[in-house]
Structure 1
């Protein structure tokens, strides 16, 4: 048995064990209810034990499990503090690190992708990875141009068998919906997993990623706030780009100053909103491992494997409907939502109730400045996810059109990171500049 199948069997076994552990904890909870222990105490205990096992297993895995863990980790701020706090460090590790690929395997991939004389392209190559993620790892090296000039580069190398591992892991994880509902009632992971499956092919193609990165780099060339590293060389499973020196956002979340947090949050919002009109693309993987705060204050972006192609920019109705909601124009909001497919044309719905549902989500852009916090996100998550909440009842009558699914997911992910940063910034002004149709006042 080769190393890759052995690792795959081990990974599958770990994932398969998760539902069994969850079932045992559920039975334990039922038994304790019979003995008269309060249900909220039991629920909290099951939540904590489930979270402990889930995050522990995800933290050991590459492939789809780690890709999913990275996607989930940006929503950490929405989890109850007593559950999130013990595992925040493990979740953050998912954003920055994974067990490294052996040097011999790295050299084999480089020889296959860059040719048997691959070492001639580098003046130096560090066999120890500088970072590792779900489908590949990054090495620091010194690239030698044909002219003899050298520069420091990041060499991203895809794990052998990464595609097969992603598909296998995501298939296993799709069976764990009950566990995630135990941790955060109302959290539906199936759409997230379906979207991740759809994007696997694109993320495995490093030449396609290079094309996206070049488009971003051209759009943000000489930008005073956003830095996109240059693509140096690309092959299907190896990508060489300019090295980015800076402080990872995960580190800023852990121990950054208020000034750094606010700066990072403002620049992340600027990138998210400005990329569609400037580059015709949306950066679709907003977890902290993909961003650095540079010494000169710019935001460095280092991963373009997941992007959405938006040649016409951000859809105008998003900004227009947000402005209408802020101005309290309930009937106009409902009419716009019907037109875009969020509300059925035939269903009767209370316009004021819809406005009451939407309006709290827009608090961050209702004033000139706003500070995102974990407490704010948890309150919103509770309002939207509790079956007894009017917002939850109303949400059952709303639909998310397929054309808005990715925009919605990226926006939620970005908000999750802003709440981890607890960043204060003039988000209203950023929307006014970059979001078509947005006008907060009449």
Structure 2
């Protein structure tokens, strides 16, 4: 067996072992309970060990496994606290880090995708990565060209994003395997519907592997926000195959740091900027930045350490919106829901394909089901909290609830898949931040169809 097939087989075996490990710990836990140990203590121990195995495996495998873990990390705020607590450290660790690839491999990738003369333009490259993610890692460097910058005449500091060799095969292979083991992993995440999440990641995998598409999206965003006083998007410098070079963004921390240690002023400030970017981006570019995990958002402190601008990175997951904006029906239906016009809401959802023909629904339940998306716009300033997010999540996912039955009758049109995931992920991030933001005002400014 050659090296690549051997590695692939090892990855598959490690992923396949995840549900077996969970089942084994459950069996051991039962034995400890029979031996007199309390159910709560056993549950905590099982969840902690599951977290350690699951997220260590996901992080080490990179590829689709790590991408799956990163998506879960944003939704962590929706999990019951007794489940989320032992996972939180492992989940959030996936947002900013992964084991690095060797320096020699990085240089081989640069030669293969920027040309043998890459060192004439990339005159300095830090051997250690500054960040690592699901399909690549980032190094700081210095680029020599006619533009120049703070580094000196004709030179500027850059971020060099290098894709792991074989990342495409690993990403697709991991997602296929995760799809097979989803049912076995699902008990570790009560209430989360894992399989559709993986299916959606599979559908977007090819786009995230294409650095030319990513460069195109980032360049459009950089131009659209070039003069913005609050949002910073680094311009693209060069792109080639599996290497993307952008201007360096100097930032001490990501939003993950604010989630862990930020003051309430910082939480509110950066939370508001995040919401403004989320909805203003599509209005200016016709594209939606669809990867709202904290590692992609960097804080740029203002004078005297005050909250400043928000930097945005990683445009690999971007929805190119039909018509060049978020759907007008989306804002219009939210406004109808805010007015509690149940019959018009159902009619509008049916027209958009959310409710299929011959499917009967109770209008009041539809209105209640949409609460996580509508409630933040019902107040001048809305405070997102983990408790609120958890309450919405549990109400919708409790099999004893009427809204749970309703969910089986609703349909999510293909054109809304990435919008829905991004909005849900954005709400999850805001709930992790515990931010208070003028959500309704922002929607009135930037969401088509919403303004009254």
How does the TM-score come out when normalised to structure 2? 0.91
Q: Which residue of 2 aligns with 1:167?
A: 172
> Counterparts of 1:96 and 1:4 in 2: how far apart (Å)?
27
Q: Which residue of 2 aligns with 1:275?
A: 281
Are 1:235 and 2:258 counterparts?
no
Are 1:80 and 2:80 counterparts?
yes
How does the TM-score come out when normalised to structure 1? 0.93
Query: 1:24 deviation in Å?
Result: 2.5
Task: Give the gaps of 5 or more residues in structure 2.
Answer: 148-152, 303-307
Q: Which residue of 2 aligns with 1:301?
A: 312
Contact 1:293 1:299 in 2 (8 A): yes
Secondary structure of residue in 2 paired with 1:303? coil
Q: Which residue of 1 aligns with 2:215?
A: 210
Query: 1:113 deviation in Å?
Result: 1.3
Contact 2:63 2:134 in 1 (8 A): yes
Query: 1:59 deviation in Å?
Result: 2.7
Query: 1:52 deviation in Å?
Result: 3.9
Are 1:336 and 2:348 counterparts?
yes
Query: 1:127 deviation in Å?
Result: 1.1
Secondary structure of residue in 2 paired with 1:176? helix
Are 1:420 and 2:432 counterparts?
yes
Q: Which residue of 2 aligns with 1:398?
A: 410
Q: Paired residues, what number?
A: 440
Contact 1:275 1:281 in 2 (8 A): yes
Are 1:286 and 2:292 counterparts?
yes
Secondary structure of residue in 1 paired with 2:234? coil
Q: Which residue of 1 aligns with 2:71?
A: 71
> Counterparts of 1:65 and 1:125 in 2: how far apart (Å)?
28
Q: Which residue of 2 aligns with 1:200?
A: 205
User: 1:341-396 CA deviation, whole Å, 9 max, x = no partner?
Assistant: 11123223221222232235422111001111111111111101110112112212
> Counterparts of 1:61 and 1:430 in 2: how far apart (Å)?
39
RMSD between aligned alpha carbons? 2.4
Task: Give the gaps of 5 or more residues in structure 1.
Answer: none
> Counterparts of 2:229 and 2:368 in 1: how far apart (Å)?
39
> Counterparts of 2:244 and 2:181 in 1: how far apart (Å)?
33
Are 1:367 and 2:373 counterparts?
no
Q: Which residue of 1 aligns with 2:150?
A: none
Query: 1:259 deviation in Å?
Result: 1.5
Residues 380 and 44 of structure 1, relative CA distance in 2, 3 Å threshold: farther
> Counterparts of 2:199 and 2:205 in 1: how far apart (Å)?
10
> Counterparts of 1:157 and 1:52 in 2: how far apart (Å)?
28
Matches within 5 A, 1:239-278: 239-246=244-251, 247-278=253-284
Q: Which residue of 2 aligns with 1:182?
A: 187
Query: 1:222 deviation in Å?
Result: 0.6
Residues 338 and 112 of structure 1, relative CA distance in 2, 3 Å threshold: same
Are 1:97 and 2:97 counterparts?
yes
Are 1:154 and 2:159 counterparts?
yes
